[in-house]
Amino acid sequence: MIPRDPVAAATHADPYPYYARLRRESPVGYDSGLGLWVAATADAVQAALAHPALRVRPAAEPVPKALVGTPVGEVFARLVRMNDGEFHARHRPDVQRAAARFTLADVAGAAEEAVRDLAPRVNANAFLSAVPVQSIARLLGVPPASLDRTVACVEAFVQGIGANASGQMIALANDAVAELVAQGEAQGLDPVRSANRIALMQQSLDATAGLIGNTVLSLRRRPEVLAPGARPEEWRAVVSEVARWDPPVQNTRRFAATDLVLAGETITQGQGVLVLLASANRDPGLNNDPDAFDAHRAVRRGLGFGAGAHACPGESIAVEIAAAALRTLVASAGLGLFAEHTGYRPLPNARIPTFSAVS
């Protein structure tokens, strides 16, 4: 079975032969079913991510229509990652500084504490989502008594900004952002910094949940890559290779602000481009022997966390949370928390494994 389209590929059991076919046959091609151009090769993906006329939101809809005039819509409008131009250039340095102020030791310590708190009391699927959000919340100074509620609020926010969010989901997200904004205001943050404080937690949820889960699957397939008592840097190397080999964020989107040419194809104003980050990571033009899982590869290049002006500033944080969380879990209880792999969450761009309940 092959994926029905490049969006469905994100949750397919093995989308990589399909991605390879797209790279061979259609480096940039139009998918009429999706109504999107699709960039599949490393060169096309990098060109799309760098093109100044390809924006993160449609010009006519900077905020999703369903969110306009709502509290969650106001927060969405202030997210640096969802803006281009002057707003992005002015506020991105603040986001970068916010992410850079945490040392790897800080991040590892927060992840270790999150695992010790969560592993005894939540199932595997909840663990994947809660560990990264709680880790970031700890780094942001959220008190222990408020951690569970903060995680719940971030999850409500993520669901409320989804493309298919119901009215009830948006209402819950409105309540959630009120609490999360209040946390930022209590720390003296202005509305933009407060919104992007939420984004630090929000972005960690799906990306790092997928990174932890996909690392679990990789370790099951090849347990020999980590010896008992492996050092932190060895864990980091394995997680970094997972991020390249089976990235948690499989695709992202860009929208043409003007007519443009991408890899020889003319894209007209208003059209969207599905940028296949995961396909680019397996392109031989980006990595040697790209289909081999090699935690010791001398040169590793990955686009799963983006590139250019919108490259995620939290890549090293995500890798450290996943590495420290799994190192802590394995040292105390092994991977028994994760039972049978049952598939992936039904998301259009994130690859997050699901697991059955432990019997």
| Domains present along the chain, CATH in parentheses | 65-248+310-333 (1.10.630.10)
What the block records as the tokens of 333 is 């209880």
Residue 52 neighbours by CB under 8 Å, 6+ apart: none
Taking the C-alpha atoms of residue 97 and residue 186, their distance in angstroms, rounded to an integer, is 20
In sign, the C-alpha dihedral spanning 149, 185, 134, 222 is positive
Exposed e or buried b per residue across 169-205, where buried means at least 16 C-beta atoms within 10 angstroms of its C-beta: bbebbbebbeebbebbeeeebeebbbbbbbbbbbbbb
pLDDT tens digits for range 160-169:
999 999 999 9
Percent residues over pLDDT 70 in the chain: 100
State the DSSP string of 162-216: STT--HHHHHHHHHHHHHHHHHHHHTT--HHHHHHHHHHHHHHHHHHHHHHHHHH
Tokens 């995680």 sit on residue: 151
Q: How many C-alpha atoms does 316 have within 13 Å on its Cβ side?
A: 12
Q: Quickly tell me which residue has 């905020």 as its tokens.
A: 63
The tens digit of pLDDT for each residue in 312-330 reads: 999 999 999 999 999 999 9
Calculate mean pLDDT across residues 334-346. Answer: 96
Dmax over CA atoms of the chain, in Å, equals: 56
Phi, psi angle pair for 51, to nearest 5° = -70, 125
SS3 249: strand
In percent, the amount of the chain with pLDDT more than 90 equals 97
Q: Are 10 and 347 a contacting pair, CB within 8 Å?
A: yes
pLDDT at residue 1 tops 60 = yes
277 to 265, 290, 301, 321: CA distances (angstroms): 19, 14, 12, 21
In the block, residue with structure tokens 């060895």: 234
Residue 206 binned pLDDT confidence (cut-offs 50, 70, 90): very high
Residue 359 has pLDDT above 70, yes or no: no
CA-wise closest residue to 162 among 37, 55, 67 = 67
How would you class 149 by CB atoms within 10 Å of its CB: exposed for 0-12, middle for 13-18, buried for 19 or more?
middle
pLDDT score of 44:
98
How far apart are the C-alpha atoms of 15 and 31, rounded to whole Å? Answer: 17
Distance CA 253, CA 234 (A): 33
Give tens-digit pLDDT for 90-122: 999 999 999 999 999 999 999 999 999 999 999
What pLDDT was estimated at residue 19? 98
